[in-house]
Structure formats: C-alpha cells, structure tokens
Amino acid sequence: MNELTANLSPRCVGRYLIDMPADVFVFGGITVDRVPIEVTAMPEDQFQREAASREAELKGTRSADAYPFLYASGEVSGAATRYFIHRGDVLADPSRRVIEAYKWDRGFQIKMQTKGWDYTNPDQTSDSLVELITPKNIVPELRALVFDLLKRVRGRPESEIPSEPGVCFFGGFLPGKAGATENLWTQFVLHDRIDVSVGLETSSDIREPTTLLQRGDSINAALKESEGRTIRKGPVDLPGLPAEEWLMAGITTRDVPGHHLALEANSRIGSAQTPLVILELDTGSHNKVLRDPIEKASLTEGEAVALWDAVSRTLRPRPNGF
C-alpha cells in the first residue's frame, strides 16, 4: 500500500482539492445552470475539421415540414468557437430549438448543448396552449447563457490547480464566484488496480432530508442484501468541511467480496457556498475502466481502508475557490 499512498498529488475537483495517487485514469462531467459541458482532448486542426463537418451536416439537413432545420450558426468569439441553433430532429416541432456550441482551448474541445423553444418563428402564439407559455421565445436567454459560459470556460490539464475562484472539472475550468447551479462528478481509477475507483461529486442545488449517518436503517438493509457489514462509521472533521463517513464491506456489482467506503458533507445545507459533497471509494466494482468479470478485489480490507484514510482526509476547499 505504501506505493499507492507515498506519491499523492493534489487534484482540483469542483471548488475542492483532494490528493490522489499519481497513476490514475480520470473521467468526469459537469452541468452548469442546466447546461451540460463535455470535454474531449483534441488537437486544434481536428477541432476545425470536425466543426466544419458538423456545420456542413446541419446545413444539409432538411426538416420533414416546410420550416428550416438550422436557424443560426457562426462564431461566438473567434475562430476557435462555433455555435449552431437547430431543431435537433427532422421530425421535431417547428418551435423546438437546440443550442449547440463548441470551443477549442489548450488542447481540448469543449462542447455545450441545451434545449429550448421559440413559438414566434414560425408564429404559433395564437395557439391556445402556447398562450399559456411564458416566455414564448426562450432562445435569446439560453443563447446568452451558453455564450457567456463558452467565453469564460477554458481547457485545463489535470495537473493544473487554478488560483482564482471557479469550478474545476475534467479537462476544463470555469472561472467565477460560486453562485450558479453546479453539478459535477469525477472518477479516478487506479492504473494497475482497475477495480479500485474513487468518485467525487459536488452539487450546489441538492439538500438531503437526512445526513449519511441518519440513513442507518436503509444502509443496514442494503448491507443485509449484499451479505455486507460495517467496517467503520462516524463523524469526520475535515479542514473547513465537517463530514460523516460509513465504510462497508460486502458483495459488489462484480459478485465478489469488496468494499464501498463513503463520505458526505453539507448533506442538509447544500448551496452554492456549501455544495453537497459525496466521496466514495469502491473495490471489486464496476467503473469507467473495469468492464470484464474479475475473480477478486485487488485490495484487502486493510489496504482499502489505508488508501481511504490517506485520500479522504486530504479533501478540502480550494483556497480562493469560492
């Protein structure tokens, strides 16, 4: 276990830092103000080719009715950005709009996409059902939101720890004070033990009715179903982040004995300044890398708990992150 915990390095997740083993696969995603953001590592010339191909595809698509399929396209802020406003499907109602935007920055393609409506083009405002809808055209509002996010967001290598306020996610960073609705997840999978994963989620708009330890009845029932047991549970005083943990052993999603170690903070006070934080370590379980059956978990209980103690106790708010 020393080789795993001897070379921990800080990673930026959301508005927090956590120290992880150096050799890990990283996955993740984020939604900001209900706009999903997807990031893909990509050279700039490939980005330009794919953007041109997407534009040609959309311009060549014809709706099943007499109305346009593509309503707008162009650059958002320079040649490394693109946006498209279209109906999403050739059979979609003429009011439907998809706002799709791309940016290339620092070796990453950043994609945003959200859906809305425009009942003014073509004009359907006299329809009795449409009369009940306000606003009749939400596209300007969504376009402004997506354009603002796209202008601010930047690509980010995993080793970069920003010093300004903002939210980190896989492949990117969005500068700005906490205030938006942010929901993100990141999963780290050990290179040489691919059944071992560490997941970290933060959500600024979720308030649970109970804390982790207050869910004992349902957790104990689940443990009984999985032939499980509690290893350890109790409060955890992390730096600037009071939390609770529940460490469990049982039969995993791969039908082998393994471990599920969980920590929660801000369970009942989730907000932009105090987002719900969920940290989990799993062994012997399905994750973004492990797809095939396995014979056993690669860590013993003692090793899993040792890795948990080394990693979980480093979780802390990033200085100036909020």
Q: How many CB atoms lie within 10 A of CB 151?
A: 13
Residues 6+ apart with CB under 8 A from 186: 11, 13, 14, 26, 27, 28, 169, 170, 199, 200, 201
Label residue 122 by pLDDT band (50, 70, 90): very high
Overall average pLDDT of the 34-56 stretch: 98
Token digits for 160? 């970069």
Q: What DSSP element (H or E) covers 302?
A: helix 301-312
Residues 6+ apart with CB under 8 A from 94: 63, 65, 67, 87, 122, 124
CA dist 58 and 61 (Å) reads 5
Given a cut of 90, whether residue 294 has pLDDT beyond it is: yes
Task: Give the tens place of pLDDT for each residue, 80-114.
Answer: 999 999 999 999 999 999 999 999 999 999 999 99
**Domains within the chain, CATH numbers bracketed:** 2-33+180-317 (3.40.1000.10), 38-152 (no CATH)
* High-pLDDT (> 90) share of the chain, %: 95
List, edge to edge, every strand of the sheet that includes 257-265.
Answer: 70-74, 81-86, 96-105, 108-117, 35-41, 24-32, 182-190, 197-203, 276-283, 257-265, 241-251, 229-238
Overall average pLDDT of the 5-32 stretch: 96
Residue 212's Cβ-count burial label (10 Å; 0-12, 13-18, 19+) is: buried
> Using an 8 Å Cβ cutoff, are 72 and 98 in contact?
no
The whole-model pTM stands at 0.93
Overall average pLDDT of the 192-198 stretch: 97
Q: Report helix, strand or coil for 298.
A: coil
Q: How many CB atoms lie within 10 A of CB 196?
A: 29
CA dist 303 and 6 (Å) reads 13
